[in-house]
Amino acid sequence: MSASLINLLWASTLQTLYMVALSTILGTLIGGPLGIFLATSRKGELYSSPVLNKVLGLVVNAARSVPFIILVVAIIPFTRLVVGTSIGTDAAIVPLTIAAAPFIARLIETAIREVDAGLIEAARSMGATPGQIVRKVLVAEAMPGIVLGLTLAVVSLIGYSAMVGAVGGKGLGDLGIRYGYQRFMPDVMAAVVVILIVLVQLVQSIGEWIASRFDKRAPRNRGR
| SS3 at position 1 | coil
Single pTM value for the model: 0.89
**Residue 137 and residue 142: Cα distance in Å, rounded?**
8
Please answer whether residues 158 and 173 qualify as being in contact, where contact means their C-beta atoms are separated by less than 8 angstroms: no
User: Tens digit of pLDDT per residue, the chain (224 long)?
Assistant: 678 888 989 999 999 999 999 999 999 999 999 999 999 999 988 899 999 999 999 999 999 999 998 999 899 999 999 999 888 899 999 999 999 999 999 999 999 999 988 898 899 889 889 899 999 999 999 999 999 999 999 999 999 998 887 777 788 888 888 887 777 788 888 999 999 999 999 999 999 999 999 887 655 544 43
Q: Residue 32 belongs to what H/E stretch?
A: helix 3-40
Closest to 70 in 3D by CA, of 99, 47, 28, 100: 99
Ordered structural domains, the chain, with CATH: 3-214 (1.10.3720.10)
101 near 27, Cβ under 8 Å?
yes
